[in-house]
Chain A
Amino acid sequence: MSLLLIVLLPLLGSLVPLMGSNERRNACATMTAVAPTIALGIALAYMGQVLDGDIPRAAVSWIPALGLELAMRLDGLSLLFVLLILGIGLLIILYTRFYLADGDDMPRFYAFLMLFMTSMLGIVMADNLLLLWVFWELTSLSSFLLIGYWYRQSEARKGARMALTVTGAGGLALLAGLLLIGQIVGSYDMQVVLDSRELIQQDPRYLPALLLVLLGAFTKSAQVPFQFWLPHAMAAPTPVSAFLHSATMVKAGVFLLARMHPALAGSEAWLYLVGLTGLVTLLYGAYFALLKHDLKGILAFSTVSHLGIITLLFGLDSRLAVVAGLFHIVNHACFKAALFMTAGIVDHECGTRDIRKLKGLWRFMPLTTTMAVLAGAAMAGVPLFNGFLSKEMMLAESLQTPLLGGLSWLIPALATVGSLLSVAYSLRLVRNVFFDGPARDLPRTPHEPPRLMLAPVMLLTVICVVVGLLPALTMTALLEAAASAALAGDSPELHLAIWHGVNPALLMSLTALLGGLLLYLQRRHVFAFQRQFRPRDARLLFEMGIQLGVRIAQRAIDSLENGSLQRYMLWLVIAVLCVAGSALTQTSGLQGPLENQPLDGLLIAGAIIAMFAGLATAIMHRRRLISLLMLSIVGLMTSLAFARFSAPDLALTQLAVEVVNMILLMLALFFLPQKTPQESGAPRILRDVLLAAGFGGIVASLNYAVLTRPLESISDFYLENSVPGGGGHNVVNVILVDFRGFDTLGEITVLCIAAIGIYKLLNRLRLFMPSSDADGRPWALDHHPAILGTVAQTILPLALLVSFFIFLRGHNAPGGGFIAGLITAAALLLLYIARGVDWTQQRAPIQFQPIAVAGVGVATLTGVGSFVFGQPFLTSAYGHFHIPLIGDIELATAILFDLGVYLTVVGSTLMMLANLGKMTTRHRPSKNKEQA
């Protein structure tokens, strides 16, 4: 379990600094350092066991369905990295304490740093492919936060986004790759995968998996052509650069190469892809490192170059090369971290990082200079320093490779060129900054930094020197353990020594050293040569690319979504035509086994009138009143059709709905602008006619096909059970209030909501009130003709009586709450129209919302009532009662439910009308008066 603590402690540790404050910096830094120190202690405690060849593992189940478990391992490779991450991480914490300016938010910095450290530890210790990916993406994200730490600077924000985009994309590729590997192997367990080399490499999915994994590794490790994000990540505070670009972030990529080496390496594809990418990156980085003027820029490109070296080593088909790669990882981490911190000190003390301004600093900061010289020598690969050892191993191994067949000599040659360049830029870095005459025009007068700030640099430099002097003693055990993990077997025997005798590698090293010196002296030629190229700013290009992508996306979306409802409807109709058409074309004929019903004159006449009216509605759409009247004819014909085909309830309902609808529509149309938009052009009309015809044709065909087939349905049950089960002879009504009363409850809720919605909509809306019709004729001044008023008032009690009658008889004969409600509403509507909203409301100040709501409430409570009898919601009961004077009567609870329906219909309809009507009165909402 304590294995998990190595990762969990820093994770918790990322919360610790948030408890600290910016004022008490020492405390904040010390608190932050506690967690990683303990974690380092735990790792060291495991060290003996690991060096003996054990692989401690620990796992906690997380998501079995995904194959993801919280599994950690600590093999040699993990240990090597854990020591680097925690060791250098602690040094960075110390260094940061002195680096951050007073205005910088220290807790935030430490929190992000610890988060990043956690994710790095997670990557190197993950014992599950998907877990590795989880931490992998977390490093991208936490590095985004770290690079963007100084978020007020544009470079920081852009650099951060660029890093996130590139490494994020790589992370997604890696996920795909790891999933493929998992599917090939059938497990995401690291050990299983590493043991399945044969299986993986013989699978046809090996190549895509390899490509995807490499894409992940190369983006993270800034290999060409993905190198461009790294130099721009230098906008981060220097401790971040020192950490991310020496021991961690970028090393995650090469770590992945080492981790997956046992499973993926060895194939030709691997050798070519990894080897050549490494080689190109090595040269590219080294060349540009020579040309940069920014201290951190030089170091950034040098990092790219050194990562190239490591990648190249993993791409060489030799076990010793892998060891050399691991060795170089350690060495590079040490000297690069030291150099970055030195650059930070210089920046801190002098106020600039421009190598053209810096000069002769050794006078001011001798101690720093010493450190820089030593670390620089290590980077250049000068004998007696650690960099020399691994570089010489690299050169020796490059000689062995048969990768390019007859042209294989190119690899050692180019590797030597790379080393030569690296000598040159190291020399330039150290000499130009610290020596090269006295300093002039520095923004600040430098002096030595605080001892504690220099301490991490000293420690790292000492390691560089000690490893360089005593390689066998210091590194053999750790490297052998790491190599046996990366090679899935015993490590090759190591003979780390400074002196191997005169051999080709030594000669190549010497060539590089002398050539580098020469190149440094003649560097102006290189600068002159480079000036012939137009400088490219990757950040600018990247930003332009993103902007371009965004603009293209915007154009695409804008052209697709033009805000036209017609177009959106068009798609809906097209969708219907496609799917329904595709189904209907499969049938041989629409006609089913049933015969057509005989036609008679009445039917034909009715159909013709309905069709005519339907067409006229569309054609006359500019003359609203006529169009509306035509629409009402369609409605009327529909009611007649219902009546003709023995559905009196439906006919009654349709008729009543039609009346109410027309009034509301007329009111609504009144407020529409007088001028309708431009008429559609001929092509559009043709299109719409075709679509409408097609849609109508499809619906008609479906109807015909359904109607000509015998229906075996559940409706027989309703016919049989209406009286015994529902206590009513009108089956339609029993269905509405009993069999499917729940549907009705839903529908009256809809009605009630609609009315409230209309209130809500109109309540704030201030509409233009036209004073004349479309032709400019003013509306009649006599708003409320007396005759209509008298008629309406006379009809009202009559209509109420009729509706009461219809309501009562509903359960046994055509009628019911819905129709009754509509009749009541229609009568009241007439009164409103005849007398106006003001007049009516004065005499009957009724709030309709409570009525509508109460209606739904009555229906609901009727349903709830059945709970008392242990029955499900809406269970009905009925019985015969003898009421004095009236006599025997059959009452069903359904009538209560129907009462709810009645109330809802009346309340909702009048609420809609009253609110629309109110718009024409002085109570209409105005801008000044807003109702809450």
Chain B
Amino acid sequence: MNHLIVMPILVPLIAGLALLLNRDGSATPRRIVGLTATALLVAVCAMLVFQSTDDTIRYYALGDWQPPFGIILVLDRLSAMMVMLTAVLAFGSLLFASAGGDEEGSNFQGLFQLQLMGINGAFLTGDLFNLFVFFEVLLIASYSLLMHGGGKARIHSGFHYVALNLAGSALFLIGVGVLYGALGTLNMADMAARVAELDGDRRVLVEAGALLLLVVFALKAAMLPLYFWLPRAYASAPAPVAALFAIMTKVGVYAIIRVFTLIFGPQAGSLAGLAQPWVWWLALATLALGGVGVLSARDLRTQAAYLIVLSVGTLLAGVGMNSTAANAALLYYLMHTTLVTGGLFLLAETISIQRGKAGARIVRGRAVHQIALLGGLFLLAAMTVAGVPPFSGAIGKALLLQSASPAQQPWLWPILLISSLAAIVALSRTGSTLFWRASSSEKNTDKHEKNPEREQADKGEKPEKGRKEAVSAGPLRIAGLLVLLGASPVLMLFAGPLTEFTHATAEQLADHEAYIQAILVRDSMGDGS
């Protein structure tokens, strides 16, 4: 019996419950539990990725009810990659949070684990209704985390976030209902098989249901014109939460890829690829909007939020291109953008702590203490998100540009390249203001005045007590930053094998016949491993 597939859900669930049982008491044991569980999750996911590389599609039948009747979790290259990505992102964010941010409100560590459970469940499930359930888990957990630490801005933007997403959930239910009404099944592989045998009249119903789901997924992914909840929510969220949220939009992107390549693959006849034209044009608009937003940002966090919008536009444009090459390219880009934009939020927080009153606003202010470290990391982050080589951003961008068909090139190339330029212009402004434009006199007085405070802060950080904010980033924060931002050079160095992996993933996605076979055609009581 291979229980490994369910572990990315069970590990954070059990850890989360253990952490939530008692919400009071010292922070250190909670941190140890949280970090250990997340480290374990990374290990589990790495094993899953390794398993997936033999190109077998495995499933795990919950309650031993075989598909299409029971709920299954499916492990293929794509789901393995997504949970792995989530685990790494979570580990970096949690390291950062464990430096003190987690104690600014109650229950952070436990909710963080449950959030991970929701995300992993959404990536692994092979059942459309179960996907809805996990969407709920991750929505409600993310809302709670968004509120962490309190404050007017968070509650305001959080309300928009939760209201829009609850409306999205209602739509999800309607969509699933319509699809079930027309297809009579919820297992995605079974749905894919049944779509092929649809008569003309039900086809329309299926189309309507599918497009409703597209709206829901687009809302989650923050595609124009449904992205409105994102910028303020991400900009006001606590940094480690915002960092983890970098994967949330990707859940939407993933759902679009999964549902619309599997259920509405080539076997679906006239319904094949029904989402892609909508996605393509709106993605281009999102991409352009992201560029405008990045330029307009007055605050580094907001800028990072728009960089997320930009990356979503880029990813969805890849989805809209609807080819194996484009899928392979976008999956590489997805890994890069998730980790690096997540890291950017952590970096914004670190910078803002050191700049005192000026915070993350892009205005002249006090110089940061660790200018070499933070400046270097900012340079790295900016280069990679703006797509300046040699880091992962440029590789992903070039892959996407390359995979556009001649008919798509005249649209994608200018928009993507000009958005990149907007990002370069905006980030060079931000960087030079944050790091270079600090007035020298202020810095000198700073040095004299701040030194005692800094020492105090350094001392204060070691016992990790209370909510005392260290002025200099301590080892945990730096470790978190390095895990996420350091991913970029790693993704660059191993771009060869990684692109090979994403290419194989895209091919596996395209071969949806194999997927259906692996899940539906079985000897009656296979153990599903």
Question: A residues engaging B (CB < 8 A)?
Answer: 61-68, 130, 133-135, 137-138, 140-141, 144-145, 148, 151-152, 157, 160-161, 164-165, 168-169, 172-173, 175-176, 179, 182-183, 546, 549-550, 553-554, 556-558, 560-561, 563, 565, 567-569, 571-572, 574-576, 579-580, 582-584, 586-588, 592, 699, 702, 705-707, 709, 711-715, 717-718, 721, 725, 738-743, 746-747, 749-750, 752-754, 756-757, 759-761, 763-765, 849-850, 853-854, 856-857, 860, 864, 866-867, 870-876, 931-932
15 pairs of residues in contact across A and B, judged by CB atoms under 8 Å: A66-B399, A160-B432, A168-B388, A169-B424, A572-B164, A580-B211, A587-B201, A587-B205, A714-B68, A743-B130, A757-B141, A759-B107, A764-B150, A853-B21, A872-B63
State the CA gap A587–B441 with chains docked (Å).
Answer: 73
Taking A743-B130, A753-B114 as given, write out 11 further A-B residue pairs in contact, using a Cβ cutoff of 8 Å, ordered by the A residue number. Answer: A62-B496, A160-B432, A179-B398, A584-B204, A705-B205, A711-B181, A760-B106, A853-B20, A871-B64, A872-B63, A872-B528
A-chain residues with CB within 8 Å of residue B231 when the two chains form the complex: 561
A665 → chain B, closest Cβ, in Å? 15
Question: Which chain B residues lie closer than 8 Å to A932 at the CB level?
Answer: 103, 106, 466-467
- Whether a CB of chain A sits under 8 angstroms from the CB of B312 is no
Size of the B side of the interface (Cβ < 8 Å), in residues, is: 125
The distance in angstroms between the C-alpha atoms of A866 and B390, with both chains bound, is 50
Q: Is A761 in contact with B147, judged by CB distance below 8 angstroms? A: yes
Shortest beta-carbon distance from A435 to chain B in Å: 39
Contact for B160 among A169, A565, A711, A749, CB less than 8 A: A565
Q: Give min CB distance, B68 to chain A, whole Å.
A: 6
Q: Which of B10-18, B85-93, B346-354 touches A?
A: B10-18
* Interface check B281, CB cutoff 8 A: no
Contacts of B292 in A (CB 8 A): 553, 556-557
Asked if A580 meets B68 with Cβ closer than 8 Å, knowing A553-B296, A554-B298, A876-B63, the reply is no
How far is B391's CA from A137's CA once the two chains are assembled, in angstroms?
A: 11
Binds A, one of B41-49, B131-139, B244-252, B336-344: B131-139
Q: Which of B151-210 contact A (CB under 8 A)?
A: 155, 159-160, 163-164, 167-168, 171, 174, 177-178, 180-182, 184-187, 190, 201-202, 204-205, 207-209
Choice from B68, B163, B208 contacting A584 with Cβ under 8 Å = B208
**A753, B144: Cβ atoms closer than 8 Å:** yes
CB distance B432 to A66 under 8 Å?
no
Q: List, in ascending order, chain A residues with CB within 8 A of B140's CB.
A: 750, 753-754, 757
Q: Is B499 a contact of A63 with CB atoms below 8 Å?
A: yes
- Interface: B295 (CB within 8 A): yes
CA distance A144 to B155 in the complex (A): 40
Contact call B228/A553, Cβ cutoff below 8 A: no
Q: Which A residue sits closest to B399, measured CB to CB?
A: A66
Q: Say yes or no: B208 contacts A568, CB within 8 Å.
A: no
Interface of B is mostly: helix
Distance between Cα atoms of A707 and B177 in the complex (Å): 11
B435 within 8 A of A: yes
- Report the bound CA distance from A179 to B397 in whole Å: 12
B295 in contact with A553 (CB, 8 Å): yes
Our pick among A67, A138, A165, A872 for the contact of B1 (Cβ within 8 Å) is A872
Known: A66-B399, A569-B164. A165 touches B207 (CB 8 A): no
- Contact A872 B225, CB 8 Å, known A580-B208, A583-B208, A749-B114: no
Q: Are B421's CB and A169's CB within 8 A?
A: yes
Q: How far is the CA of A103 from the CA of B52 in the complex (A)?
A: 56
Give Cα distance in the complex from A756 to B278, angstroms: 38
Identify which of A145, A173, A867 contacts B417 (C-beta below 8 A).
A173
Interface 1/0 per residue, B301-325 and A, CB below 8 Å: 0000000000000000000000000
Contact A152 B436 (CB under 8 A): yes
Within 8 Å CB of B168, what residues of A? Answer: 572
Which of B213-221, B259-267, B446-454, B474-482 is near enough to bind chain A?
B213-221
CB contacts (< 8 Å) of B232 on chain A: these are 561, 563
273-311 of chain B: CB within 8 A of chain A: 278, 289, 292-293, 295-296, 298
> How many Å lie between the Cα of A853 and that of B113 in the bound state?
13
Chain B residue numbers with a CB within 8 Å of A172 are 417-418, 420-421
Given known contacts A754-B140, A760-B148, A853 and B17 CB-to-CB distance under 8 angstroms: yes
Contact check: which of A563, A571, A702, A876 meets B178 at CB < 8 Å?
Answer: A702
A137 CA to B417 CA, complexed, in Å: 14
User: Are A61 and B496 in contact (CB-based, < 8 A)?
Assistant: yes
Q: Are B215 and A757 closer than 8 Å at their CB atoms?
A: no
User: Given the complex of chains A and B, what is the CA–CA distance between A67 and B398 in angstroms?
Assistant: 10
User: Please, how many angstroms separate the alpha-carbon atoms of A415 and B191 in the complex?
Assistant: 74
Q: A711-B181, A712-B184 are in contact. Are A175 and B417 (CB under 8 A)?
A: yes
The 7 closest A-B pairs by CB, nearest first: A713-B184, A706-B181, A757-B144, A151-B436, A746-B133, A579-B211, A553-B296
| With A138-B389, A556-B292, A872-B61 as contacts: A860 and B467 at CB distance below 8 Å | no
Kindly list chain B residues whose C-beta atoms are within 8 Å of the C-beta of A179.
Answer: 398, 401-402
Q: Is the CB of A572 within 8 A of B167?
A: yes
**Across the interface, which residues of B come within 8 angstroms of A558, CB to CB?**
296
Contact of B13 among A138, A757, A860 (CB under 8 A): A860
In-complex Cβ contact of B432 among A133, A157, A173, A587 (8 A): A157
With A572-B215, A582-B211, A765-B150 in contact, do A63 and B14 touch (Cβ < 8 Å)? no
Q: In the complex, what residue of chain A is closest to B184 when comparing beta carbons?
A: A713
Check B1–A870 contact: CB distance below 8 A. Answer: yes
Q: Find chain B residues with CB under 8 A from A739 CB.
A: 63, 65, 69-70
B106 A931 Cβ-Cβ under 8 A: yes
A756 x B389 contact (CB < 8 A): no
B399 partner residues in chain A, CB cutoff 8 A = 65-66
Interface residues of B in 426-445 (CB under 8 A from A): 426, 428-429, 432, 435-437, 440
Q: Assuming A583-B211, A584-B204, is B62 touching A746 (CB within 8 A)? A: no
- Cα A679 to Cα B436 in complex, Å, equals 50
A854 touches B21 (CB 8 A): yes
CB within 8 Å for A746 and B121 given contacts A175-B417, A709-B182, A764-B150: yes
Beta-carbon contact of B417 and A864 below 8 Å:
no
A763–B181 touching, CB < 8 Å: no
Known contacts A579-B212, A580-B212, A753-B144; A763/B105 CB under 8 A: yes
B138 to chain A, nearest CB (A): 10
Q: Which residue of A lies closest to B3 (CB)?
A: A867
What is the bound-complex CA distance between A549 and B421, given in angstroms? 12
Nearest CB on A from B99, distance (A): 16
A714 B185 Cβ-Cβ under 8 A: yes
Across-interface contacts of B65 in A (CB, < 8 A): 725, 738-739
Q: Which of B14, B61, B214, B389 contacts A133 (CB 8 A)?
A: B389
Q: Is A740 a contact partner of B226 (Cβ separation < 8 A)? A: no
Give the complex CA separation of A706 and B174 in angstroms: 11
Cβ of B524 within 8 Å of any chain A Cβ, yes or no, is no
Q: Which of chain B's residues have a CB closer than 8 A to the CB of A567? A: 228
Known pairs A743-B130, A874-B62; A849 contacts B23 (CB<8 A): yes
* Closest Cβ neighbor of A165 among chain B residues: B425
Are A763 and B106 within 8 A (Cβ)?
yes
Known: A587-B201, A702-B205, A760-B144. A65 touches B328 (CB 8 A): yes
Residues of the B chain whose Cβ atoms lie less than 8 Å from the Cβ of A568: 160, 164, 228-229
A152 to B147, CA, bound (A): 39
Q: Is B171 a contact partner of A576 (Cβ separation < 8 A)?
A: yes
- A853–B150 CA distance with the chains assembled, in angstroms: 23
Q: Which chain B residues lie closer than 8 Å to A764 at the CB level?
A: 105, 150
Question: Does B111 sit within 8 A of A, measured CB to CB?
Answer: yes
- In the complex, residue of chain A having the shortest beta-carbon distance to the beta carbon of B388: A137
B512 within 8 A of A: no
For B204, the closest partner residue in chain A by CB is A587
- The chain B residue with its CB closest to the CB of A894 is B63
Q: Does B383 reach chain A (CB closer than 8 Å)?
A: yes
A806 CB → nearest B CB, Å: 23
Select which of A707, A747, A856, A875 is within 8 A of B17 by beta carbon: A856
B143 at the interface (CB under 8 A from A): yes
Q: Which of B64, B69, B228, B466 is A714 in contact with, Cβ under 8 Å?
A: B69
A699 to B394, CA, bound (A): 44
